[in-house]
Structure 1
Amino acid sequence: MIDYQPIVKKVSSIAIQVAIMLFVFLLMSTALDIWRAQQLPQGTLPVGSYTTLNEQVINFHDLEHYAADELVVVYFWATWCGPCKVTSPSVKQLAKHYPVVSIAMASGDDKVLEQYVSSSGLNIPVINDDNQAIANTWGVKVTPTVLFIKGGQIHGYTMGASGYPGLLARAWWLAKG
């Protein structure tokens, strides 16, 4: 007869260690997000009107009114950003469910950025913020940063690499609330 008690004890010990490591990781990640978000706008959104690479005019004042009824995602990213290469496809998928406006920070002139967007298949509105004026106005210092806006205010955010399931779950939760 095989004694399973030592095996069960070992598996339980490993499961507890994994749970503790996951809890510590989530706690540290949340604390880091809160610390990095100190510069994000409080209250109303910064006002500005910008043109996307495909000549669409995005007015953040209009976005504020639009966002009163619906969740809007504002995605700050850069072509040179490694974690953005993980997050951009997730944001592209998220755009099937929620309006997304993306702002490319310090990613070169329009021609360079258009080539990158075309080759990566990122088919969401892209505003070129080559000098980071928009990012500075919004207090964004980290790429990628994903902001969830509703009612003209930031209701949620995440910074750093994010996967589609996490972004979708957060957007769904914020949209219903």
Structure 2
Amino acid sequence: MQRLIKLTSWIKKAAVYGLLFIALSTAVDWYRTSNSPSTLPPSMVATMLDGDSVDLVAQSFESPVVIYFWATWCSVCRFVSPSLSWVSNHYPTYAVALNSGSDRRVSAYVQQHNYQFETVNDSDGSWMKRWQIAVTPTTYIIHQGEIQSVTTGFTTPLGILARIWLS
């Protein structure tokens, strides 16, 4: 009986701490993304490392599109990138490597880590400025030509999928 009381007490505390963590994470994420753009241009063509070009806005009318801003030097990205790589097997996912070096260096990094997402190298910072990226990683979900979700920092495959499904 004593064990049951301790277990119940522990579960209640864990639930309270879990809810506090979710509330705090949501508040921080909202603050970080408050300056993010709220609209997209009518056309947004991205040129991938392999030379292929994709209009991300046009593609978002076919399926939700994930745009993942990351960097090779970002410690949190090392944990999040495999999740986005997995998501890219199910939804169109385009990564924008921020200030990560030459095309050759970024391509080698992507291949070394076996990432499956298509990658744009933002070596001059133009994507970063246009999207007002202040935190890496930052993940956008666009659908039907509109931004549906923006999140920063650590996220899980389930968190990404939930954002896609809610778009």
When normalised by structure 2's length, the TM-score is: 0.92
Partners of 1:18 and 1:143 in 2: CA distance: 29
Whether 2:8 is the aligned partner of 1:12: answer yes
Larger radius of gyration between Structure 1 and Structure 2: 1
1:33-44 matches, within 5 Å, as 33-44=29-40
Q: Is the 8 A contact 1:46 1:138 kept in 2?
A: no
Cα distance, 1:93 vs. partner?
A: 0.8
Which is worse superposed, 160-169 or 27-36?
Answer: 160-169
Partners of 1:154 and 1:45 in 2: CA distance: 11
The 1:137–1:148 alpha-carbon spacing in structure 2 relative to 1, beyond 3 Å, is same
Unmatched 5+ stretches in structure 1: none
Deviations 1:11-34 (Å, cap 9, x if unpaired)?
Answer: 111111111110010001000111
Deviations 1:40-90 (Å, cap 9, x if unpaired)?
Answer: 1112348543321111123xxx32232124200000000011111111111
When normalised by structure 1's length, the TM-score is: 0.88
Q: Is the 8 A contact 1:44 1:153 kept in 2?
A: yes
Higher helix share: 1
Secondary structure of the residue aligned to 2:100 is coil
1:64-83 matches, within 5 Å, as 64-83=57-76
Choose which of 142, 146, 153 in structure 2 pairs with 1:160. Answer: 153
RMSD: 1.6
Matched positions, count: 167
Choose which of 159, 162, 167 in structure 2 pairs with 1:169. Answer: 162
Percent identity at matched positions?
Answer: 32
Cα distance, 1:143 vs. partner?
A: 0.8
Which is worse superposed, 66-75 or 40-49?
Answer: 40-49
Unmatched 5+ stretches in structure 2: none
